[in-house]
């Protein structure tokens, strides 16, 4: 890392993006615990570097698909916070008008084609989005976020083979937090891992430390450029850690306390802040201000969501078929 | 005169010429498709719009959806209906729900083509008729034509529709001939075709069973019983008004379909008429709740035939 | 008093103790399952009989079948019904057909457990009720209990059955309490449970909607209308005789279910009664043909409630 | 190869097995063309070495699952010819009582758990059979035959990962004839191929010349021993060629004539016979007699099937549920 003016701005953007994701999810978690957010809530606290590091290398017109743990991807891609917070609270002003909730967060206006309640559900969609973009002669790309759990589902194989075959402009991002629901990835995943699987399907892949936003950013920048340049699909394997349980109601008590503590030690925001300070990109006070601003933004969004109207029950019948 | 499969070919051809956003993906489509329904397309439109895919049904279906989300209009060819079972998450959990779930942000304009039904003793895994499932599934249009003209006109509508349309090609009728206009106009969804008028009873049917129904009606006619025959053509939206009106008028309604009788779409029609037009005498004729056997005499024992339709009509008339 | 989920746990536990060929496979089952329905099983039966699997629904389902073909008796745990869409080829084309297709050589003795229905605002991809599909599918038994005792007794029957049984766990009722006997006896498939007797009308329902039906009946009772309530418990085989007899006696039949009304199993029941007991006044109450929305007021607008059941009963009684 | 007495008998059995498969399918093809066999018919003429080379290394209690092109697998595993020929002709005495036909041929009495009309449909079943056998404490194994087309379907990934994870006694056999229906495998398969895919899923794999029955036999013997010994799953990749079209009504006219001719040149029976002669295992007359016997057997079976009764229509209603 070398703090030129240009990348200093980019680094600060990465930091700010991570802080906003963290603040959004901590706020949402509290709201869920307070009973204000219905339905299941999956937060990605600890994994922010992946969403930020990848999405800050994308254009607005690039598309992403996500999974059940999608707040970070959406925010990093530029989804409106008010619409997200209202959606989580089930309000009329939510991006999905209250029809989707956390697990189906989407903001098509910024190319966020949706979270997904089905593991690996976003893979075929992203592949098809890339194929459509190519067919339309556009040079936008598709990015597909999924977890380590998704690499044991069939669509992973079908989607990667397909993308390689048609040289589609799609970047697969495997967010490997080592666990799927209540089961360790290592206990359900045979063979050498996702990089080997991708390679065997014709998709070049690289592993990065997914808790180091600088590393994610650098790898993503390179892979996005290759994909956009017509080189065909790529896969980014980002190793990270989920600080909390599977859902907001899961304490994940089965994980050894020292494992969790060690992971929190190396968590991506503090770690990146240390580098920003060391590189002289920002002062501690500036960084704290970013964090505080993010938290204030999210708490204001939450307050606004709480005050926002519920959807008109009549809207439950629209958006099915026809006009 | 044009065969039904050729009518479908012409309809897709017309639409792909009209709209460059329309494309087709599925196994062997670049070689014309399993039934020749895309013959010559590769030469005309090239490999980017006529995409012969791997045997990857989940992604055939899901990639169609993704491509629709960015503004193309895919025709998703599933080869044989039964293979849709390999792509049900993509169809049921994704395609059917994406517009609603995202509050209208997405509008997947796509057609899923699924040649279905009995065909040349293909046995249990290549003959299923599960159209009723999709009438029960919110978020999709369900089309099941039986003539070349209807097939062509409804396929044009399907391709132009902004909704996801499940198009059940009646594969056993691919060789049936009929007139198809030079310029194929879209046929609106949800309207029956009145095949013949009559006062003795109303018979509603659709898709591959229509010829059997017409043969049965001929038998009844020879006995002086005039059947009013309605080809439903679409299971969703379906022409409830026309069916109820006809049933009210004749006082008797028989619904015949190739699918298993228990839980088939006939149950919905009968239930609807029972609720809305009490007093109409009602009957169904469908397959028993048995998988399709291979051997001709076994298949014959299971499948709905003109004789079984006549027998059902006789029982209904005797009530 | 035992909760429904605990009753199911005890039933599976009893059967796994009884028969060493019984085992369970599915995601997180070694950690007790998503709902605790397998709590303590790993400790008791070890990792070969309590198999926490990868997120590989197709193989969870298909491996269960393969293991049944060599003489074990798997409980295939699908976690949430909607994920069955990832395993439909294995369920529909393989499990449901294998005995028939092979002329009886195979007898897949297995249970597929599929917790289904609305539950804590889980939205479109985690709330589906598609039980009617499987009543329409030859080759499977379809069970949908609503009380702890029925759930336990029917699960015992399912595990002992030589047929493939699709067991719809009513996940929204997992916390409901009731008595469960020390030794859980099998409850035969295909018999209704008469919840209460009455002469004003017959209400048939099942699974997670039963409490709403009972609340609706209480409202009707407060107005002096006695509803006969039948809990169907099994959609295939289903207790046609009991339903028809009750409907004949009261003269009015309302079928209420959590599923979408169009093409739901209510249509089959209504059609059947319309055919076999003409003159009975018939009505249904199900969800509109709309995916499940997330937000509470939207879900409330869609779902079947006691008030909607009462309103449907009132309309039926006014006819 | 070295013709000891012991393996001479084994080689002759391999030869005989291939000849019987060839004769069965040529007979069936003619019967289909004559209109006596209804439904679709997929023959494996040219691929006999794979079925024979693998199955002759199995016990009766070992289980196999097959695909739509399953006659050879069934015959090599010991399925009764009369029951097979009757089944193809839709007669009452068929293994499936006429309910299955060619695409669903099965003979559970010899461990043949069925052909399959769905590509890759047999993979999860074989994996489960292996798991069941292991659970029952038996040392029988499962073998799963599938084509090159199946490796692009999700169950391939899910099944191999699963088998490796639980170290199941299952041998996967990929019968690679380079084509799926009317599309070249190379045109729809990205990456280095099935061996790499298997390895990436934790399943050791080897490639053999699938037209050399000696090579198939040797590889199968080794892999079966490993699998039975508890080493976990293995994959055998057998390269072969389909002499005829996809179905009996497909001429496969799109394939260059010289390609087909070259393949027929190297076809497995003649090739193996040359070696048997060279090794002095049998005389030309003896080999011809085996071929003639096989043909006579199949033609007699066909005649018997033609004379056999059709199923009672009432049986269409049995074997669904209950007794
Ligand atoms: C097909 C399917 N099976 C099971 C589930 C239930 N489920 C939801 S998230 C999850 C774990 C996913 O793990 P991973 O992909 O690693 O993502 P993570 O939760 O770790 O971010 C499971 C099993 C599902 N949603 N979809
Ligand atoms: C899931 C599924 N998709 C499509 C088909 C139609 N189909 C039958 S065989 C076949 C080709 C299979 O190729 P391969 O697996 O290589 O076997 P081969 O025919 O070459 O022996 C196809 C596409 C099918 N049966 N199942
Ligand atoms: Mg994970
Ligand atoms: Mg092949």
Evaluate whether B30 touches B50 at the Cβ level (below 8 Å). Answer: yes
Ligand nearest to the CA of D252: 2
Q: What is the per-residue burial (b if ≥16 Cβ within 10 Å, else e) of B293-304?
A: bbbebbbebbbb
Whether the predicted pLDDT of A1 surpasses 50: no
CA torsion C273→C278→C279→C283, rounded to 10°?
30
- What distance in Å separates the CA atoms of residue C236 and residue C135, rounded to the nearest whole number? 6
- What distance in Å separates the CA atoms of residue D105 and residue D86, rounded to the nearest whole number? 11
This prediction's pTM: 0.98
Q: How far is CA C85 from the centre of its chain?
A: 17
Angle at D66 between CA D218 and CA A189, to 5 degrees: 80
Whether the predicted pLDDT of C28 surpasses 70: yes
Residues B135 and B163 placed together within one structural domain of the fold:
yes
What is the mean pLDDT of the segment spanning D15-41? 98
Q: Is residue C88 part of a domain?
A: yes
Q: Is residue C186 part of a domain?
A: no
* Cis upstream peptide for C237 (omega within 30°): yes
Which residue, chain included where needed, has tokens 């049965």? B216
Mean predicted lDDT score pLDDT of chain B: 98
Among C178, C203, C229, residue at a domain's last position: C178
What DSSP character marks residue D112?
Answer: B
Residues C207 and C86 placed together within one structural domain of the fold:
no
Among C178, C209, C236, residue at a domain's last position: C178
Portion 174-193 of A in contact with D at CB < 8 A: 188-192
Could you tell me the CATH number of the domain that includes residue B235? 3.40.50.920
Whether the predicted pLDDT of C90 surpasses 70: yes
Between D154, D164, D191, which is nearest A191 by CB?
A: D164
- What distance in Å separates the CA atoms of residue B85 and residue C84, rounded to the nearest whole number? 11
Q: Is residue C39 part of a domain?
A: yes
Q: H/E/C letters for each residue in B108-144? A: CCCEEECCECCCCCCCCCCCCCCHHHHHCCCCCEEEC
Mean predicted lDDT score pLDDT of chain C: 98
Percent of chain D with pLDDT over 70: 98
What is the mean pLDDT of the segment spanning A251-258? 93
Evaluate whether D268 touches D226 at the Cβ level (below 8 Å). Answer: no
The backbone torsions φ and ψ at residue A173, rounded to the nearest 5 degrees and listed phi first, read: -125, 110
Q: Is residue B223 part of a domain?
A: yes
What kind and span of H or E run contains A174? strand A170-176
What is the mean pLDDT of the segment spanning A161-165? 98
Give A260-323 as a DSSP string. HHHHHHT-HHHHHHHHHHHHTSS-HHHHHHHHHHHHHHHHHHHHHHHHSPPPPGGGGGSSSS--
Q: Is the CB of residue D104 below 6 angstroms from any atom belonging to ligand 2?
A: no
- What distance in Å separates the CA atoms of residue B20 and residue A188, rounded to the nearest whole number? 45
Distance D181 CA to ligand 4 centre (A): 7
Residues C203 and C140 placed together within one structural domain of the fold:
no
pLDDT band at D313 (very low <50, low <70, confident <90, very high): very high
**The pLDDT value given to residue A193:** 97
What is the mean pLDDT of the segment spanning D289-306? 98
- What distance in Å separates the CA atoms of residue C245 and residue B192, rounded to the nearest whole number? 36
Which three-class secondary structure state does DSSP give residue C35? Answer: coil
Q: Is the CB of residue A69 below 6 angstroms from any atom belonging to ligand 1?
A: yes
Ramachandran area for residue B82 (φ above 0: left; ψ -120 to 50: alpha; else beta): alpha
User: % helix / strand / coil in chain B, to the nearest 5?
Assistant: 40, 20, 40
Give the model confidence (pLDDT) of D87-133 as tens digits.
Answer: 999 999 999 999 999 999 999 999 999 999 999 999 999 999 999 99
How many contiguous H segments (helices) and E segments (strands) does chain D have? 12, 7
Both tokens of B153, joined, read 């006109």
pLDDT band at A6 (very low <50, low <70, confident <90, very high): confident
Residue C25 CB contacts under 8 Å (≥ 6 apart), including other chains = C51, C53, C60, C63, C64, C74, C75, C76, C77
Q: Residue D26, Cβ neighbours under 10 Å: how many?
A: 17
C281-287 and C177-178 beta bridge pairing: unpaired
Give the model confidence (pLDDT) of D54-86 as tens digits.
Answer: 999 999 999 999 999 999 999 999 999 999 999
Nearest to D94 by CA among D17, D37, D133: D37
What is the mean pLDDT of the segment spanning A205-223? 98
Sort out which chain C residues have CB atoms less than 8 A from A188's CB and list them.
Answer: 52-55
**The pLDDT value given to residue C73:** 98
Evaluate whether B257 touches B312 at the Cβ level (below 8 Å). Answer: no
Atom of ligand 2 minimally distant from the CA of D42: 19
**The pLDDT value given to residue A2:** 55
How high is the ipTM of this complex? 0.98
Whether the predicted pLDDT of C277 surpasses 50: yes
**Angle formed by the axes of helices D268-279 and D284-307, to 10°?**
140
Give the model confidence (pLDDT) of B191-227 as tens digits.
Answer: 999 999 999 999 999 999 999 999 999 999 999 999 9
Show the DSSP H helices in A34-146 as ranges: 48-55, 71-76, 81-88, 122-135
Could you tell me which chain D residue has the CA closest to the CA of A124? D154
pLDDT band at D3 (very low <50, low <70, confident <90, very high): low
Ramachandran area for residue A294 (φ above 0: left; ψ -120 to 50: alpha; else beta): alpha
- What distance in Å separates the CA atoms of residue A55 and residue A58, rounded to the nearest whole number? 5
- What distance in Å separates the CA atoms of residue C232 and residue C194, rounded to the nearest whole number? 9
**The pLDDT value given to residue A323:** 86
* Cis upstream peptide for D179 (omega within 30°): no
Q: What is the per-residue burial (b if ≥16 Cβ within 10 Å, else e) of B204-242?
A: bbbbbbbbbbbebbebbeeeebebbbbbbbbbbbbbeeb
Nearest to D157 by CA among A191, A128, B85: A191
Whether the predicted pLDDT of B95 surpasses 80: yes
Percent of chain B with pLDDT over 90: 99
Atom of ligand 1 minimally distant from the CA of C28: 23
Evaluate whether D105 touches D95 at the Cβ level (below 8 Å). Answer: yes
Mean predicted lDDT score pLDDT of chain A: 97
CA distances from C317 to C216, C220, D102 (A): 14, 11, 56
A183-184 and B111-113 beta bridge pairing: unpaired
Nearest to D203 by CA among D234, D171, D175, D162: D234
The CATH T-level fold of domain A5-309 is Rossmann fold (3.40.50)
Evaluate whether A60 touches A110 at the Cβ level (below 8 Å). Answer: yes
Residue-number span of the structural domain to which B268 is assigned: 193-317
Give the model confidence (pLDDT) of B240-281 as tens digits.
Answer: 999 999 999 999 999 999 999 999 999 999 999 999 999 999
Residues B26 and B168 placed together within one structural domain of the fold:
yes
- What distance in Å separates the CA atoms of residue D52 and residue D21, rounded to the nearest whole number? 9
Give the model confidence (pLDDT) of B121-174 as tens digits.
Answer: 999 999 999 999 999 999 999 999 999 999 999 999 999 999 999 999 999 999
Could you tell me the CATH number of the domain that includes residue B38? 3.40.50.970
Q: Is residue B186 part of a domain?
A: no
**Nearest-neighbour CA in chain A from D149: distance (Å):** 12
Evaluate whether D67 touches D145 at the Cβ level (below 8 Å). Answer: yes
Give the model confidence (pLDDT) of B78-87 as tens digits.
Answer: 999 999 999 9
Residues C68 and C214 placed together within one structural domain of the fold:
no
Q: Does A133 touch chain D (CB under 8 A)?
A: no
Residues B56 and B95 placed together within one structural domain of the fold:
yes
Q: Is residue C188 part of a domain?
A: no
Q: Is the CB of residue B27 below 6 angstroms from any atom belonging to ligand 2?
A: yes
Q: Is the CB of residue C77 below 6 angstroms from any atom belonging to ligand 1?
A: no
The backbone torsions φ and ψ at residue B63, rounded to the nearest 5 degrees and listed phi first, read: -70, -35
What DSSP character marks residue A107?
Answer: B
Angle at A140 between CA A135 and CA A144, to 5 degrees: 100
Q: How many domains does chain C contain in total?
A: 2
C193 bridge partner residues = C231
- What distance in Å separates the CA atoms of residue B31 and residue A83, rounded to the nearest whole number? 47
pLDDT band at A308 (very low <50, low <70, confident <90, very high): very high
- What distance in Å separates the CA atoms of residue A47 and residue B13, rounded to the nearest whole number? 48
Percent of chain B with pLDDT over 70: 100
Nearest to B112 by CA among B69, B153, B63, B165: B165
Evaluate whether A270 touches A213 at the Cβ level (below 8 Å). Answer: no
What kind and span of H or E run contains B13? helix B4-18
Q: Is residue C72 part of a domain?
A: yes
- Does C126 qualify as catalytic in the annotation? yes
Residues B162 and B114 placed together within one structural domain of the fold:
yes
Distance D149 CA to ligand 2 centre (A): 6
- What distance in Å separates the CA atoms of residue C152 and residue C146, rounded to the nearest whole number? 10
Q: Is residue B184 part of a domain?
A: no
What is the mean pLDDT of the segment spanning C295-309? 98
Task: Spell out where B37-89 has E strands.
Answer: 50-52, 73-77
Interface-testing mutation among C49, C52, C62, with chain D (most D C-beta atoms within 10 A): C62
Task: Spell out where chain C has E strands.
Answer: 2-3, 22-26, 50-52, 73-77, 111-113, 141-143, 165-167, 177-178, 193-196, 201-205, 227-231, 234-236, 252-260, 281-287
The backbone torsions φ and ψ at residue A64, rounded to the nearest 5 degrees and listed phi first, read: -130, 150
Residues B122 and B260 placed together within one structural domain of the fold:
no
Whether the predicted pLDDT of A150 surpasses 50: yes
Task: Spell out where chain D has E strands.
Answer: 63-65, 142-147, 170-176, 179-180, 183-184, 205-209, 234-239
Sort out which chain B residues have CB atoms less than 8 A from D119's CB and list them.
Answer: 55
Portion 186-215 of B in contact with C at CB < 8 A: none
pLDDT band at D1 (very low <50, low <70, confident <90, very high): very low
Residues B113 and B226 placed together within one structural domain of the fold:
no
Which three-class secondary structure state does DSSP give residue C111? Answer: strand
Evaluate whether C277 touches C244 at the Cβ level (below 8 Å). Answer: yes
Sort out which chain A residues have CB atoms less than 8 A from D158's CB and list them.
Answer: 152-154
pLDDT band at D232 (very low <50, low <70, confident <90, very high): very high
Percent of chain A with pLDDT over 70: 98
What is the mean pLDDT of the segment spanning C114-129? 97
């Amino acid at each position: 890392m070398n703090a030129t003016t240009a990348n200093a701005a980019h680094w600060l953007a990465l930091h700010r993006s991570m802080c906003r994701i963290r603040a959004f999810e901590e706020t949402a978690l509290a709201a869920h615990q307070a009973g204000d957010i219905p339905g299941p809530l999956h937060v990605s606290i600890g994994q922010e570097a992946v969403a930020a590091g990848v999405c800050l290398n994308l254009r607005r017109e690039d598309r992403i698909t996500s999974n059940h743990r999608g707040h970070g991807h959406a925010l990093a891609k530029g989804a409106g916070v008010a619409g997200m917070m209202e959606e989580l609270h089930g309000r009329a002003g939510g991006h999905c008008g209250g029809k989707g909730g956390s697990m189906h967060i989407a903001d098509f206006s910024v190319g966020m084609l949706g979270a997904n309640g089905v593991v690996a559900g976003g893979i075929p969609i992203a592949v098809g989005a890339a194929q459509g973009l190519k067919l339309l002669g556009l040079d936008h790309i598709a990015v597909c976020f999924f977890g380590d759990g998704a690499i044991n589902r069939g669509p992973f194989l079908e989607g990667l083979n397909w993308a390689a075959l048609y040289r589609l402009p799609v970047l697969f991002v495997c967010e490997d937090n080592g666990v799927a629901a209540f089961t360790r990835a290592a206990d359900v995943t045979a063979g050498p891992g996702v990089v080997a699987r991708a390679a065997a399907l014709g998709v070049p892949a690289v592993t990065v430390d997914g808790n180091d936003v600088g590393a994610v950013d650098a790898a993503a920048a390179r892979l996005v450029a290759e994909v956009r340049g017509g080189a065909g699909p790529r896969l980014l394997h980002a190793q990270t850690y989920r600080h909390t349980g599977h859902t907001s109601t899961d304490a994940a008590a089965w994980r050894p306390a020292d494992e969790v503590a060690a992971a929190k030690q190396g968590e991506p925001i503090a770690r990146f802040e240390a580098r920003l300070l060391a590189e002289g990109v920002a002062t501690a006070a500036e960084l704290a201000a970013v964090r505080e601003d993010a938290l204030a933004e999210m708490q204001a969004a939450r307050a606004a969501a709480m005050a926002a109207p519920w959807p008109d029950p009549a809207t439950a019948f629209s958006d099915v078929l026809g006009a | 005169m044009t065969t039904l499969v050729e009518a479908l070919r012409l309809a897709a051809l017309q639409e792909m010429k009209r709209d460059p956003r329309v494309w087709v993906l599925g196994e062997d489509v670049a070689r014309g498709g399993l039934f020749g329904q895309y013959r010559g397309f590769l030469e005309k439109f090239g490999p980017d719009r006529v995409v012969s895919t791997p045997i990857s049904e989940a992604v055939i279906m899901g990639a169609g959806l993704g491509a629709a989300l960015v503004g193309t209009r895919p025709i998703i060819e599933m080869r044989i209906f039964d293979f849709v079972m390999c792509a049900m998450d993509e169809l049921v959990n994704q395609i059917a729900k994406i517009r609603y779930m995202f509050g209208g942000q997405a509008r997947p304009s796509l057609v899923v083509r699924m040649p279905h039904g009995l065909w040349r003793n293909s046995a249990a895994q290549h003959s299923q008729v599960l159209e009723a499932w999709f009438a029960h599934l919110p978020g999709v249009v369900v089309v099941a034509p039986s003539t070349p003209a209807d097939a062509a006109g409804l396929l044009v509508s399907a391709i132009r529709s902004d909704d996801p349309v499940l198009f059940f090609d009646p594969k056993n009728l691919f060789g049936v001939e009929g007139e198809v206009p030079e310029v194929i106009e879209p046929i609106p969804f949800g309207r029956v075709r009145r095949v013949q008028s009559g006062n003795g009873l109303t018979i509603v049917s659709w898709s591959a069973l229509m010829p059997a129904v017409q043969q049965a009606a001929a038998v009844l006619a020879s006995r002086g019983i005039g059947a009013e025959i309605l080809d439903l053509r679409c299971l969703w939206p379906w022409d409830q008004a026309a069916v109820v009106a006809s049933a009210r008028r004749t006082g008797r309604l028989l619904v015949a379909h190739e699918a298993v009788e228990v839980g088939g779409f006939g149950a919905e029609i009968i239930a609807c008429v029972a609720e809305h037009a009490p007093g109409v005498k009602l009957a169904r004729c469908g397959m028993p709740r048995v998988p399709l056997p291979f051997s001709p005499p076994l298949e014959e024992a299971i499948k709905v035939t003109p004789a079984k339709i006549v027998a059902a009509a006789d029982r209904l008339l005797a009530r």
